């Protein structure tokens, strides 16, 4: 992993120091209250990387997110540059423009202190927690399908001015260390006994079989090549169910610090993998009478995300194709339909998305950063049986991509019925 340097003026906030350190931030005082003595501060970060504070005062609440100069999950033995806050800030501003209302409002950004003051989303909670609890979110698949399509399309050469796209690609090309995490943890470490890996002990025979498969390794490495070389759009870069906050009827996307120019299908594929892990883990979280209905709902969300992505991409193709790629001058202006070219591109995006889905289904079980869907299952034998389904589906998808959403969902149902 790459090393990094921290500027001298940087200092990590604490619950105690935050009010005096941020007293001069006008937007914070205006939203929370002018007297910092009246603020209460809680540190609530439960992610892998950063500090997250909720600041409450007489006039309201805000979130203060600050990058640490190392990976929080591991400690200072794994340095990580503060500049990820810069990439998160710039990604949030682009996402807000491309899909208004879908990301928190930004009130203040301090590059030297690597901190962002942003909207406190309430009563939203992290989607992964809702799915473990068996709660439904109205409109979830639609909101996230639209988000993936709008950010993918509008951040690409299909819509952007070519000069702006190149300048933006250069700007985000500095997000090297966070890409490095993805390149190792998502695409590589699952397929050998990497130092930071861990897995449920009862999975060992399945893991041995998976790591002994050269075709599978080659398929994962091909997806890594797509990730590193396919600078097609500004990806969120870490769109899992821990990067989504919801009420029962509203959905927001947070945490784009892994933003980078990459494949159009990356965010869609990672998100679908996380729905599927929620699906496979449900037998440990639901009673028998709730299980089937809730699993069906998760597959409905998967379907709706995919079909909405497709429909919105088609709509944007017709109305916002203003970039250098597939310009109307080549088709419609010549009296020809571009539908065939569009559908070929959508197939390419879906194929990529499925490949990314496959590696994500593996890495959350085999590498460093696991997810609560499985991790909260205390009975390790029961957990291993459910994790084995996720591993099996990831392998099947990597070796032969489902050609459409129906095939993906049929495969999920068949895998869920397997006794592995
Ligand atoms: C060391 S960071 C581990 C994981 O947490 C983030 O949310 C990303 O998913 C990353 O892969
Ligand atoms: Mg995150």
Residues 84, 129: one domain? no
Q: What percent of the chain has pLDDT over 90?
A: 95
The side-by-side arrangement of strands in the sheet containing 60-67 is: 40-43, 50-57, 60-67, 115-119, 106-110
pLDDT tens by residue, 278-292: 999 999 999 999 999
Residues 111, 135: one domain? no
Q: Which of 67, 88, 119 is the last residue of a domain?
A: 119
257 within ligand 1 shell (Cβ under 6 A): no
Q: Is the peptide bond before 123 cis (omega within 30 degrees of 0)?
A: yes
Residues 293, 360: one domain? yes
Average pLDDT over residues 153-165: 98
**Sign of torsion over alpha carbons 376, 381, 386, 387:** positive
Residues 251, 288: one domain? yes
pLDDT tens by residue, 95-117: 999 999 999 999 999 999 999 99
d(CA 118, CA 177): 24
CATH number at residue 65: 3.30.200.20
Measured CA to CA in angstroms, residue 147 lies from 186, 202, 251, 395 at distances of 22, 38, 10, 27
pTM of full prediction above 0.95: yes
d(CA 76, CA 108): 27
Distance 189 CA to ligand 2 centre (A): 19
Residue-level pLDDT at 8 = 79
Average pLDDT over residues 15-36: 92
Let me know if residue 11 belongs to a domain.
no
Residues 343, 279: one domain? yes
Phi/psi of residue 116, nearest 5 degrees: -125, 125
CB 104 within 8 A of CB 119: yes
Distance 213 CA to ligand 2 centre (A): 31
Residues 250, 379: one domain? yes
For residue 93, what are the domain limits?
18-119
Distance 298 CA to ligand 1 centre (A): 23
CATH number at residue 313: 3.90.1200.10
**The two structure tokens encoding residue 83:** 């500049």
Average pLDDT over residues 206-220: 98
For a mutational test of ligand 1's pocket, the pick from 76, 181, 253, i.e. the residue with the most ligand atoms closer than 8 A to its C-beta, is 181
- Residue 4's pLDDT band (cuts 50, 70, 90): low
Number of domains in the chain: 2
Q: Which of 101, 119, 137 is the last residue of a domain?
A: 119
The closest of 260, 224, 263, 255 to 239, measured between CA atoms, is: 255
Instruction: List the residue whose alpha carbon is closest to atom 2 of ligand 1.
Output: 48
For a mutational test of ligand 1's pocket, the pick from 4, 73, 185, i.e. the residue with the most ligand atoms closer than 8 A to its C-beta, is 185
d(CA 130, CA 273): 17
The yes/no answer to whether this complex scores an ipTM above 0.90 is yes
Residue-level pLDDT at 403 = 97
Residues with Cβ within 8 Å of residue 392, at least 6 apart in sequence = 206, 415, 418, 420
Distance 320 CA to ligand 2 centre (A): 30
Let me know if residue 2 belongs to a domain.
no
């Amino acid at each position: 992993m790459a090393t990094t340097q921290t500027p001298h003026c940087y200092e990590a906030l604490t619950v105690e120091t935050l009010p005096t350190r941020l007293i001069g931030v006008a937007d914070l005082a205006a939203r929370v209250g002018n007297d910092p003595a009246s603020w209460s501060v809680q540190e609530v970060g439960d992610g892998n990387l950063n500090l997250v504070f909720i600041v409450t005062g007489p006039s309201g609440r805000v979130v203060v997110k600050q990058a640490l100069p190392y990976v929080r999950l591991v400690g200072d033995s794994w340095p990580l540059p503060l500049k990820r806050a810069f990439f998160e800030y710039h990604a949030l501003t682009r996402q807000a423009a491309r899909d208004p209302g879908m990301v928190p409002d930004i009130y203040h950004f301090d590059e030297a202190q690597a901190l962002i003051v942003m909207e406190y989303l309430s009563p939203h909670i992290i989607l992964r927690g809702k799915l473990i609890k068996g709660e439904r979110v109205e409109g979830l698949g639609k909101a996230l399908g639209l988000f993936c399509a709008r950010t993918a399309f509008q951040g690409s050469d299909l819509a952007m001015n070519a000069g702006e796209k190149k300048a933006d690609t250069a700007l985000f090309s500095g997000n090297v260390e966070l890409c490095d995490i993805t390149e190792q943890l998502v695409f590589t470490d699952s397929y050998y006994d990497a130092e930071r890996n861990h897995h449920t002990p009862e999975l060992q025979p399945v893991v041995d079989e998976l790591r002994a498969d050269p075709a599978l390794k080659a398929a994962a490495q091909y997806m890594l090549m797509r990730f590193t070389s396919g600078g097609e759009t500004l990806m969120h870069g870490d769109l899992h169910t821990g990067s989504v906050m919801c009420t029962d009827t509203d959905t927001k996307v947070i945490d784009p610090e892994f933003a980078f120019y990459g494949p159009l299908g990356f965010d869609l594929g990672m998100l679908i993998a996380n729905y599927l892990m929620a699906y496979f883990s449900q037998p440990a979280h639901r009673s028998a009478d709730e299980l089937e209905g809730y699993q069906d709902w998760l597959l409905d969300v998967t379907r709706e995300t995919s079909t909405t992505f497709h429909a919105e991409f088609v709509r944007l193709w017709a109305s916002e194709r203003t970039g250098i790629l597939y310009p109307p001058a080549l088709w419609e202006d010549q009296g020809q339909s571009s539908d065939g070219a569009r559908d070929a591109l959508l197939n390419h995006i879906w194929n990529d998305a499925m490949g990314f889905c496959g590696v994500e289904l593996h890495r959350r079980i085999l590498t460093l950063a696991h997810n609560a869907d499985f991790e909260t299952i205390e009975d390790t034998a029961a957990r291993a049986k459910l994790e084995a389904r996720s591993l099996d589906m990831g392998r099947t998808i990597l070796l032969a991509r489902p050609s459409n959403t129906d095939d993906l969902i049929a495969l999920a149902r068949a895998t869920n019925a397997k006794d592995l």
